[in-house]
Each structure stands twice: as structure tokens, then as C-alpha cells.
Amino acid sequence: MKVQVIYSSLSGQTKKVAQAIFDAIVADDKRLHDLKDGEPTLDGDILLLGYWVDKGGPNAEMKALLSKIQGKAVGIFCTLGYYADSSHAQKSLCAGIDLVKEQNILLGSYVCNGALSESIIARFRKAGTSGPHSASPENELRWEILQSHPTQAELNLAAERFKERVYLYQKYRENGLAFSSIV
């Protein structure tokens, strides 16, 4: 079974999650691909797709890729510079899931805290001190705290989730069972 881990990363945090997942999964043929190197041929049996959250959903490159996928077993993961247990994080993850859930089998998903890129923080600071992304004292503290994310525990959880789901999907197929999407 061929597994492709495909990701888009701005600050390097999504790349860390993708690498942890890639290292953990067991497959005869597995590939890791960064979208900055171009769009890969989507010939894997399983596609694990990761993105950084931009404007409440997948960044543009990943959004374009997600819109093309049909007939695959898919896992979705993302990172964002906000709290992973917030409604914003869940909506941002669901925005990616919504692009693939009708035409594919969803193996699962994962959302992770991540550090904002310095370029985005600079843009927010330039915008001033009003608005949800402003350089307010509260946001400055959040940005500081999130610089240490993803933590090793978060990377381990992402790796465990998709290692298990890839294994489960393989076992279902070996036994002639239909895997129901996890939505």
C-alpha cells in the first residue's frame, strides 16, 4: 500500500507534524512531499494532507490540491497560531475536511497549535492594536507561548493518530471490510 504525506508549511510547524506522521506510519511505500516543490502525482492509496491555516481554512496551495482529490483514503491535519481546542481551530480543520469528504474516505483528522511565522506577526504588528489579529498585549502573549508549538506531545499524538488509522485501513482492506469515513 502506498501512503503519501503531502503538506504545505509557512513557518515550518506543519512540516514538523508531517515529518512526525511520516516517520511513524508503517507502509511498504511511503512518500513525503512539500507543496513548495510543486504538486505531486496523487497515486497513493492513502493521502495524508497537512496545511497551515490561512483565513480560517487551508492555505491557497493546499486548498487547490484538496479540491482535486477523488476516490482516495484521506487524512487531514493542520496547524494554526491559535488554540487547537478553540472553535476557530475546529472550523479551520473542517474547512479542509469539507473539500474532500464527499468524494473520498476520511480516515481522520488532527489540528495542532503552531507558531505563527515572523512575517505574519510583523504584518499583524504593522496593522496596529485593534482587531482580532492586532498586536494587543493578549495576542503578543499568545504568540510568545505558541512559539514552542508543536510540542513533542502534540507531534506524538498526530503520529499515533495516523499510524493507527493507516494500519486500520490496511487491515480493513485485507479482510474485505468497508472503512466508513470518520467525519
Write out the chain's pLDDT in tens, 183 residues: 999 999 999 999 999 999 999 999 999 999 999 999 999 999 999 999 999 999 999 999 999 999 999 999 999 999 999 999 999 999 999 999 999 999 999 999 999 999 888 888 898 888 776 667 788 888 899 899 999 999 999 999 999 999 999 999 999 999 999 999 997
pLDDT of residue 53: 95
Which residue reads 506524538 in cell numbers? 156
- What is the dotted CATH code of the domain comprising 2-114+150-174? 3.40.50.360
**Closest Cα to residue 142, out of 55, 83, 56?**
83
For the chain, which residues make up each domain, given as ranges? Answer: 2-114+150-174, 117-148
Q: Quick one: DSSP state of residue 150?
A: S
pLDDT of residue 126: 86
